[in-house]
Amino acid sequence: MEVLDSAGKPGSKMIVTSRIPDVVTLTKSLKPYTLQCLLPAHSSSLLTQWMQNPAELPPRLIPIRKMIAETCAGVPSLLLSASNKLKSIRKTQVAWQHVLSRFDLVFYADRLLLDAAYVSYQHLPPSIQQCFLYCSLLLVHSFTPEQLTDMFVADELIKLISSKSDMHLYFSKIMTEHFYGVVQKSRHRGNTVYKMHPGMQLLAQRISRGFHLAIDARKEIIWPSCDARCLSLLVDCETSKLPPELFELESLRTLILLRDENMLLSENKCAITDIPAEFCQRLIALRVLHMQSCRIKRIPRLIDMLQNLTYINLSHNDIEIVPDSVSNLRFLTHLNLSQNEIIELPESVGKMQSLQMLDLSHCEKLLGLHEAISNLVNLHTLNLEGCHYLAVLPKGMKNLRSLTCLNILECPLLTQMPRQMNQLTSIKILPRYIAAETPKHTISELRPLVYLKELGVQNMENSSSADARNVILQDKHKLESLALSWTGDCTDPETSSRAQEILEHLKPRRGLKVLQLFSYPGRKLPSWINSGVPYLNSLTDIKLVNLACESLPPLGQLPNLKIAEVSGIDAVTCVDDTFYGADGTFFSLEKLSFFHMPNLKTWVPSHREGLFPCLQELTIAQCPKLTAVHVKLRAVTSLIMLMNNENLIACRGSLQGLSRNLRSLSISLCEELLEHSQCEGLHELHGLEELQISRCTELISLPGGMRHLSVLRSLTITKCTKLETLPEWLKNITSLRSLCISDCPKLHIPKSLNNLSHLQIILE
C-alpha cells in the first residue's frame, strides 16, 4: 500500500487478480470479472502464435498440434509450456506424439508451472489435502459436494468433526474456487459438469505416487505397474465390460466409474451389464464402489465377499433384484439404488444396523417397504422421491429416531403419514408432510420437531387455526425453507377466510430463507408478508403459485431476495409500485419470473430510482395480454419468453425497458412465431448477441423481422420440427459467429451460409 500511495496518481486504477472469490469482499464495491478457459479454437490459435515460424509446420503435424492444444484445456500457462516444449524438439510425428502421450512430463519439466500449482495445494488445510488427491480421480464429473463428502467419509479420508452441512459448504468452495471450472449444464436435469484443472490433476497424480490412479477405459493403454488404492475408470456408451487388469489390484479400496462428457450431458448408460464373480472374489479390500449409469440387472449374490464395503452407489442401472446377501455387508453405511427397476427390497435389509443412508429415489416400480426397515436405528437419510407406486410407509417409522432426512416428494399414491411422526425429533429435512383431518395426522404433531431446517406441508386445507397456533414455527430456530400447499375449491369464502387465519398463525422465524406458497385460497396474504415494514429480511427465494390474492405482495422491500417467481395470480392486471413496497427497489434480486398470468396487461413505468439494480434474468411465460414492459430494467442481460407472448414480440416498443443491456433472448413454445412475423418488439434490442429459438412448431423459416438484430453473435435453433430453410439475409449479419441447429429434421441450410468462413455451423 505504501508503494501505491507514493506512485499512484489521482484517477489511477488497480487490477486485482485472485483465484479466491472471497477476495472480492475485501474490495467491497468492485464487481468481479471471472476469466473462463479459452475455447478450443482460440487455444489452437494461441499455441500456433507462440511457436516459431508456424507457417513452416509440416501438414502432418497440424492434427497433433490441435490435440495438444485440446489437452491444455484452455489454460494459457499450459499452452505456453507446451509451445516451449514443441519449439525445443524435432518436428517429427514420433517426437510430437510422445509429447501428446506423456503430457505430464511437459508439466513436470516446467518448474514455474509446477511451483504455482503446488502453492494451491499448500493453501489447503492438511486435513483436506488427502481429499484433493482423491479429487485427481475425477477427470470429469457431476458429483455434488454432498456426494463427495459421503465418499470421503466412507473412505476414511475425513472425520465428520463439524456438521455435515459445513463440510458440504467447504467442499463446494474447494470445487468452485480452487480446482474446477464449470463446463456446461445437462439439458435434462441441470446437473453441473465439472472438470479438474489439468495442472492440478497432474500435480495430484505426482504427489500421490500411483496410489490414486485415473484410467481412460475408452482407450487401449498399458496399465502402470503400481499398487493403486483408489482408481477411476473413464467410460463411454460403448464400454461393455470391466478391464481384466482391474482384478489384479487386490489392494484397491475405491473404484469409481466416471461417465465421459457425452454421457453426462445425455444421461446415457454404458454397456456394462454385470459385476463378474471374479470382481467379488479378488477385490476384497474394496471400501467404495461407485458404478453409476450402467446396465447392470442384478447385484451379484457374492457381493458379501466384499466385507469392507462402506459405500455402494449403483444408481441409474437396470437392477431388478437385490439379493439377501447384501444384508451381510456389516460395515455398509451408504446404499444408493436410485433410478432402478426394483419392485421390493428383501426383508433382510432390516439387519443392516450400520446403514445410515438409503436412497431409492425414482425407483418407479417400487411397491412398498418392508416393516423391517423400521429396525434401521442408525438410518439418517431415507430418500423415496419419485417412487410413483409407493402407497404406504412402514408403520414402525417412529422407531427411526436417528432419521434427519425423509423425502417423499412425487409419491402421488402416498396420501397419509405413518403414526407418531412427532417422535422423529432428530429430523431436519422433511420436504413433504401430508396433513390430514384425523387428530393423529394434523400439523400439530410437527411441534416437537424443533430441528427442522426444511419443511413442506401438503393439504393445508385439512388444518385448523388451532393446529396452526400449536405448531409454533417461530420456535423452530433452524428453519430455513418453508413450503405450504392447498388443494380444493379456492372460491369458497369460508375456505378463503380460514386459510388467511391459518397462514397468519404460521409465522416463521425471521431467518427464513426460502418461502413457497401453492394454491393459497386467501384473498390477502398474512401481515408477515404484506407488512409495510419487512419481516422476512433474510429471505432469498420466494415462489408464489396459483394464489387467489387480489394484488402482488410488496416483495421489493425484502433486502436479500435474489430469486422471485410469481405464477397463476389471475386477479393481477399490472405490475406497479405495489410490487416494490413503500421504499423497496428489489436491491438484491437476480432472477424474476412471471408464469401463467392470464390477465396481466402491462408493467408500468415507475418514477422510483434504482429499481432492480442486480436483476440479470427475466422470464415471462404465458402472459397473453401483456403488451409492454415499460419499467427500466437496466441490469437485465437475459430474457426468456415461453408460450403465448405474441404481444411482446409483435408490438413496437414493448420491450423498451429492456433495450439497454439485453444480450441474450430465448423464445420457446411460441406457436405464433411465423415466417412473416415482423417481430417489431425486438427492433429496439440493439445490443442482442445471443438468440435461442426452441419448440416453435409452426416456424418454417426465420421471421423477416429478425434481420434487425445486427450484432447477433450466436443463434441456436432447437426442435422446430417444421423449419425448412434459413433466410439469405442471415449472411448479412456479419457479427454472427455460431449457428447451432438440433432436432430440426426438415431443415436445409443454404450454400451461402455454408461458405461463410467466419461462421461455425454445428448440427446435432
Mean pLDDT across the stretch 651-656? 87
Can you give the pLDDT at residue 295? 96
Mean pLDDT across the stretch 50-61? 73
What confidence category does residue 107 fall into, taking pLDDT thresholds of 50, 70 and 90?
low
Mean pLDDT across the stretch 322-335? 96
Domain 40-109 = CATH 3.30.70: no
pLDDT exceeds 90 at position 17: no
Mean pLDDT across the stretch 453-458? 96
Confirm if 340 and 313 have CB atoms less than 8 A apart.
Answer: no
**Percentage, residues of the chain above pLDDT 70:** 89
Can you give the pLDDT at residue 297? 94
Block residue for cell numbers 436410485: 338
Can you give the pLDDT at residue 171? 64
pLDDT exceeds 70 at position 182: no
pLDDT exceeds 80 at position 111: no
pLDDT exceeds 90 at position 121: no
Least confident residue range of 75-89, 196-210, 246-260, 353-367? 196-210
Q: What is the DSSP string of 96-117?
A: HHHHHHTHHHHHHH-HHHHHHH
Instruction: Please state, in angstroms and rounded to a whole number, the distance separating the CA atoms of residues 349 and 372.
Output: 7
pLDDT exceeds 60 at position 188: no
pLDDT digits (tens, 9 = 90+) for 256-289: 999 887 888 777 899 999 999 999 999 999 999 9
Q: Grid coordinates representing 507?
A: 409465522
Least confident residue range of 119-133, 538-552, 639-653? 119-133
Can you give the pLDDT at residue 34? 67
pLDDT exceeds 70 at position 20: no
Distances (CA, A) of 752 to 24, 488, 660, 692: 47, 58, 32, 22
Mean pLDDT across the stretch 558-577? 94
| Better-predicted residue by pLDDT, 339 or 195 | 339
Q: pTM, whole model, 2 decimals?
A: 0.83
Mean pLDDT across the stretch 312-318? 96
Instruction: Please state, in angstroms and rounded to a whole number, the distance separating the CA atoms of residues 134 and 288.
Output: 12
Q: Grid coordinates representing 486?
A: 392447498
Can you give the pLDDT at residue 1? 46
Q: In this structure, what DSSP letter does residue 746 have?
A: T
Instruction: Please state, in angstroms and rounded to a whole number, the distance separating the CA atoms of residues 88 and 93.
Output: 14
For the chain, what are the domain ranges?
40-109, 123-197, 209-296
Can you give the pLDDT at residue 316? 95
Average pLDDT of the chain to the nearest whole number? 86
Residue 397, strand partner residues:
none
Identify the CA nearest to 426 among candidates 447, 442, 450.
450
* Three-class DSSP category at 529: helix
Q: What residues contact 471, with CB distance under 8 A and at least 6 apart?
A: 443, 444, 446, 447, 505, 506
Can you give the pLDDT at residue 292? 94
**Percentage, residues of the chain above pLDDT 90:** 50
Residue 406, strand partner residues:
382
pLDDT exceeds 60 at position 2: no
Q: What residues contact 29, with CB distance under 8 A and at least 6 apart?
A: none
What confidence category does residue 9 fall into, taking pLDDT thresholds of 50, 70 and 90?
low
Can you give the pLDDT at residue 538? 94
pLDDT exceeds 90 at position 543: yes
Can you give the pLDDT at residue 677? 84
Extended strands (E) in 367-428: 381-383, 405-407
Q: Grid coordinates representing 178?
A: 480452487
Block residue for cell numbers 423415496: 384
Q: What is the DSSP string of 450-497?
A: TT-SEEEEE-GGG--HHHHHHH-GGG-TT--EEEEE--S-S--HHHHH
Can you give the pLDDT at residue 186? 35
Confirm if 486 and 502 have CB atoms less than 8 A apart.
Answer: no
pLDDT digits (tens, 9 = 90+) for 341-358: 999 999 999 999 999 999
Can you give the pLDDT at residue 235? 93
Composition of the chain by helix, strand, coil, percent to 5: 30, 15, 50
Mean pLDDT across the stretch 370-379? 95
pLDDT exceeds 80 at position 127: no
Work out the angle between the directed axes of helices 198-208 and 76-87 (0-180°, nearest 10): 70
pLDDT exceeds 80 at position 162: no
Least confident residue range of 1-5, 70-74, 314-318? 1-5
Can you give the pLDDT at residue 166? 56
Confirm if 53 and 92 have CB atoms less than 8 A apart.
Answer: no
Identify the CA nearest to 14 among candidates 319, 355, 5.
5
pLDDT digits (tens, 9 = 90+) for 217-248: 887 776 777 788 899 999 999 999 999 999 99
